[in-house]
Chains A and B, each alone.
Chain A
């Protein structure tokens, strides 16, 4: 079973920040939080991952709470092309299998 829970859908206005929450209350000390997104009929695309510190890259920022039981993916300036299903995943490093939850369907509206 997936170890994360996410809201099924969210809306965001184009140009505004999209904040996608994820709960992972049973995360283990050696497990990372990964975020992927999937645009219709394509394979999932890696966005960002982190262990306990906040992370930022060219696509997004990842904010992990101090107790690591939840996190938020931030798309700072959402565009229409960011409309996708976003998956928050908890997994260990290396060859551990990855179980997907239902994800959040983000709709970016003009």
Chain B
């Protein structure tokens, strides 16, 4: 099946720095990708919808200046956590639609961010 890859899988950074997480669709083109965050023992919370060639659409309560999303190509979306703080520590997961096939939504492996 289609594969979505995230990088890095784990990242530790100091408070105040910025961290970029990449999400790639490896064998299909994705005009739309989604970014989620997940806290321990909780469900996935949708943060934003990433649209190729246009601005991302953020869910209510998600700071767009804090979580910068860029979807510059049909196979790559990036999430940048700016000026990270310990409360931003979380599991970030991306997903992408294989619209050319069955419309299934495939998920990346997730990226665990720890802010010290």
Residues in chain B near residue A97, CB distance under 8 A = 34, 46, 49
Q: How far is the CB of A106 from chain B (nearest CB, A)?
A: 15
Nearest CB in chain A to that of B6: its residue: A43
Give the number of A-B contacts (CB < 8 Å): 59
Give Cα distance in the complex from A42 to B109, angstroms.
Answer: 5
Residues in chain B near residue A85, CB distance under 8 A = 43
Q: How far is the CB of B63 from chain A (nearest CB, A)?
A: 18
Chain A window 44-64, contacts with chain B (Cβ cutoff 8 Å), 1 for yes, 0 for no: 111001000000000000000
Residues in chain A near residue B95, CB distance under 8 A = 43-44, 98
Interchain CB contact under 8 A, A95 and B107: no
Q: Give the secondary structure class of B's interface.
A: strand
**Any A CB within 8 A of the CB of B69:** no
B residues lining the A interface (CB < 8 Å): 1, 4, 6, 31-32, 34, 36, 43-46, 49, 91, 93, 95, 97, 99, 102-110, 112
A residues lining the B interface (CB < 8 Å): 32, 34, 36, 38, 41-46, 49, 85, 87, 91, 93-95, 97-103
Extra contacts besides A46-B107, A94-B99, A100-B36 (20): CB < 8 Å: A36-B107, A41-B91, A42-B110, A43-B93, A43-B107, A43-B109, A44-B95, A44-B107, A45-B107, A46-B104, A46-B106, A49-B102, A85-B43, A87-B43, A91-B105, A93-B103, A95-B31, A98-B34, A99-B46, A102-B43
